[in-house]
Structure 1
């Protein structure tokens, strides 16, 4: 389905934005790019900004007018941050993706982007079935052309591609979550050290036990984190024992 979506750039003034658009499309698995009267193209700057998406540029079609670029399209969508005096059907990028998903036979789909300075003209937008608007900060709604393409291409991939899933991540043994038995042992170790250091007093013992158990459950402690905590508690135990031995020695020496 993604190969049926055509990104159309109308009257771009900076070749770098053409390259950035090619890169944005390839990252999201789209491949069709049409250029309507680009000011400076072909261009080394466009190639540089495209990075490894130069195949998108090589296959891009160049048109003298917008009608030629969208002639075979059944669904035409214009992008603009501005509403117009004569309103079009306004939708968000996510709603657009769902519309395309629910009408898969209505292809090819053209998504139009206007010139960097002023966007699509009223005449261009009136050729569109929908007006898609990215819901940006109303106090600063200006988006770079490449960024706008990227956002919309992302929504297309999310809705229309079966490959739009997170990569599988293997969890190493040290990052596995601890068992209930290990959690119980850790709580007992905390209890022992808190009593040893005088931190835990009978008056607040039950409250402290419940809070500590809840804290460790919420933390979802892993094996490596468990080992750190047990090691730290053991070091506190040993330090306390050495400290106690030193105090006893001094008391014994003072009594001689």
Structure 2
């Protein structure tokens, strides 16, 4: 069905930790072209969310020898499934959203993705060929990536967009080889996942559970109306996503939410949040 693949260059950090996520790709040939772009730059972790057609002959034909990337590709039914175990999510987007989101160009995005790949899984998300990612999907991202193309002709083919980002990742990888290992004593510790941080970063699944719990509590105390939401949850999402929470912080916040529900008499039987690690008395306060 397809040509034998050339060996994949070894790079555990990038191959295993950085995943390229394509959402509802319409043309299977574009999936093959993306696989080729990835392998050109030493990447091999491809996730597909509800592709219209895959696998098929067109995808393997367009991969031009990167069939091993397609062979290992994961097909999932939802974006949440593709992101659940990631600690950093970055989605490609045009500028000009109603609620501005943290946005950066490909070189800065690649540097951040490379840094975080040493701490946990990183997802780089690309949308549909005709209209990209939805607002809801973009709100799943910590940061947006904007490729500063010609404003008079800004539309990029899906594989071209992936190639731009993968090239910047490749440059980060090569620079890392040249620099060698840095002293642990000189490394900054500013966020979960950094060397010396006491608790692992919260996963996307943990954070989504918190956002669902938070919204329910705001409804319970009559602060938020689902039938007239305005921008409340979007702005709260932006606030908490900027904080880059760890697992203990999520547990403490959900414990607070459960206490609010109990005090308000709105906590349903069997719905009480059970943290994965119970904080001690000292950990829950300054």
Q: What does 1:78-93 align with in structure 2 at a 5 Å threshold?
A: 78-93=91-106
The alpha carbon displacement at 1:162 in A equals 5.5
- The alignment's TM-score, normalised by the length of structure 1, stands at 0.62
Aligned-residue CA RMSD (Å) = 1.6
Q: Which runs of 5+ in 1 are unaligned?
A: 166-256
- The alignment's TM-score, normalised by the length of structure 2, stands at 0.55
The alpha carbon displacement at 1:107 in A equals 2.2
**Measured at CA, do residues 103 and 32 of structure 1 come closer, stay the same or move farther in structure 2, by a change above 3 Å?**
closer
The alpha carbon displacement at 1:106 in A equals 3.5
CA distance in 1 between partners of 2:29 and 2:61 (Å):
8
**Measured at CA, do residues 88 and 41 of structure 1 come closer, stay the same or move farther in structure 2, by a change above 3 Å?**
same
Residues 35-84 of structure 1 show CA distances to partners (whole Å, capped at 9, x for unaligned) of 00001111110010001000000000000000001111110000023431
Which residue of structure 2 aligns with residue 188 of structure 1?
Answer: none
Which residue of 47, 51, 60 corresponds with 1:38? 51
Which residue of structure 1 aligns with residue 174 of structure 2?
Answer: 161
Residues 107-135 of structure 1 show CA distances to partners (whole Å, capped at 9, x for unaligned) of 21100000000000001000000000001
**Measured at CA, do residues 64 and 146 of structure 1 come closer, stay the same or move farther in structure 2, by a change above 3 Å?**
same
CA distance in 2 between partners of 1:20 and 1:66 (Å):
21
Q: Alignment length, in residue pairs?
A: 165
Which residue of structure 2 aligns with residue 129 of structure 1?
Answer: 142
- Alignment pair present for 1:51 and 2:30: no
CA distance in 2 between partners of 1:101 and 1:8 (Å):
16
Q: What does 1:2-21 align with in structure 2 at a 5 Å threshold?
A: 2-3=14-15, 4-21=17-34
Which residue of structure 1 aligns with residue 88 of structure 2?
Answer: 75
The alpha carbon displacement at 1:98 in A equals 1.7
SS at the partner of 2:144? Answer: strand
CA distance in 1 between partners of 2:74 and 2:116 (Å):
25
SS at the partner of 1:161? Answer: helix
CA distance in 2 between partners of 1:163 and 1:20 (Å):
27
Structure with greater proportional helix content = 1
Q: What does 1:1-256 align with in structure 2 at a 5 Å threshold?
A: 1-3=13-15, 4-161=17-174
**Measured at CA, do residues 117 and 59 of structure 1 come closer, stay the same or move farther in structure 2, by a change above 3 Å?**
same
Q: Which runs of 5+ in 2 are unaligned?
A: 1-12, 179-286
Is the Cα contact below 8 Å between 1:8 and 1:35 reproduced in 2? yes
